[in-house]
């Protein structure tokens, strides 16, 4: 009998061929990257954040490279949940990978309505974005106010019956452990951590911000130590799985997140640097697991030796 795939994991009752997922906002609707890589090799794809209606996003310029990362204020531009379900999802379903749909709303009612539509769609999991720092209403209030976090997670969980709910946490809070525990107590099935850190970049010649929104979300290797620390803190606080996100560029970064407490990971900014990053990570992880005689990558989760 053939040996089991050592990279296979189970997340909220759903099997993934490997723990490598592309992060929302960095991989479009999935289809765009099919020109460059075989996306069927991925463990999963987290779709660009969907809202109830079409959103055009912020004014240009809205992205700039920073030391060891990038700053963006896209403004959650997307085609809306209905168009995604009719135009994008049928094409995406041709590929053999798990589909996680990231979604958001400006009000609790919007969150609930989008979640209901996705709950009956042919996808695998929902990822609720309560933490995006790029919009002036909705996300930043829900993700940084404990009472609002509890209200929105409870409302969404109450209205979905079929899909596991991941809640994506903001790092722009005093104590991420508090928010993770609130999400767990409110019914979240998993946590993804972290979203981008709030940052700013200024043109010293014009004395103007580099991006029109003034501030934006910092991502890339610069935030990895913060993300690893927060995953570790969340792991010690909750009993639900954690998907680690933040500055992952290679397999060594993945292993670090697992040791800190992650059960899966998402790759974001690295997709812009090299579209093949995720496939290289999967290949290198396989070698690492074999060389270290690890039966399954899940053995690494929370294995920090202190």
The stretches of 203-269 forming alpha helices (DSSP H) are 224-235, 251-260
Helix (H) or strand (E) holding 152: helix 146-159
58 φ/ψ angles, rounded to the nearest 5 degrees: -80, 165
**Which residues lie below 8 Å from residue 92, measured CB to CB, with a gap of 6+?**
29, 30, 31, 45, 99
Distance from C-alpha of 252 to C-alpha of 258, rounded to nearest angstrom = 10
Distance from C-alpha of 132 to C-alpha of 139, rounded to nearest angstrom = 5
| Residue tagged active-site, from 42, 70, 112, 132 | 132
Question: Does residue 12 carry a catalytic annotation?
Answer: no
Torsion of CA 172, 178, 183, 185, to 10 degrees: -170
Looking up tokens 């990558």 gives 297
Q: Crossing angle, helix 108-119 and helix 146-159, to 10 degrees? A: 30
Q: Are 143 and 170 in contact (CB under 8 A)?
A: yes
Which residues sit opposite 35 in a β-bridge? none
Q: Are 246 and 223 in contact (CB under 8 A)?
A: yes
Distance from C-alpha of 76 to C-alpha of 52, rounded to nearest angstrom = 12
Maximum distance among all alpha carbons in the chain?
A: 67
Which positions are annotated as active-site residues?
A: 132
């Amino acid at each position: 009998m053939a040996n089991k795939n050592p990279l296979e994991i189970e997340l909220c009752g759903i099997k993934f061929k490997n723990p490598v997922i592309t992060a929302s906002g960095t991989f479009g609707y999935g289809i765009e990257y099919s020109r460059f890589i075989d996306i069927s090799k991925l463990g999963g794809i987290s779709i660009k954040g969907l809202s109830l209606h079409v959103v055009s996003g912020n004014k240009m310029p809205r992205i700039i490279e920073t030391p060891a990362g990038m700053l963006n204020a896209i403004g959650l531009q997307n085609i809306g949940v209905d168009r995604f379900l009719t135009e994008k999802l049928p094409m995406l379903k041709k590929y053999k990978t798990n589909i996680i749909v990231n979604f958001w709303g400006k009000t609790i009612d919007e969150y609930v309505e989008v979640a209901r539509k996705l709950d009956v769609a042919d996808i695998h999991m929902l990822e609720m974005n309560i933490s995006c720092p790029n919009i002036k209403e909705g996300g930043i209030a829900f993700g940084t106010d404990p009472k609002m976090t509890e209200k929105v997670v409870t409302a969404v969980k109450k209205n979905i019956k079929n899909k596991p709910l991941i809640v994506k946490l903001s790092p722009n809070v005093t104590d991420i452990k508090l928010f993770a525990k609130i999400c767990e107590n409110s019914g979240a099935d998993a946590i993804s951590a972290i979203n981008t850190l709030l940052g700013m970049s200024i043109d010293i010649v014009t004395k103007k911000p580099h991006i029109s929104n003034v501030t934006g979300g910092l991502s890339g290797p610069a935030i990895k130590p913060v993300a690893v620390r927060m995953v570790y803190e969340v792991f010690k606080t909750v009993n639900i799985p954690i998907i680690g996100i933040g500055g992952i560029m290679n397999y060594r970064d993945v292993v670090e997140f697992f040791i800190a407490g992650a059960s899966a990971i998402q790759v974001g900014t690295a997709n812009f640097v090299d579209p093949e990053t995720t496939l290289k990570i999967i290949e290198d992880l396989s070698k690492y697991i074999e060389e270290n005689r690890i039966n399954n990558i899940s053995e690494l989760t929370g294995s920090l030796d202190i």
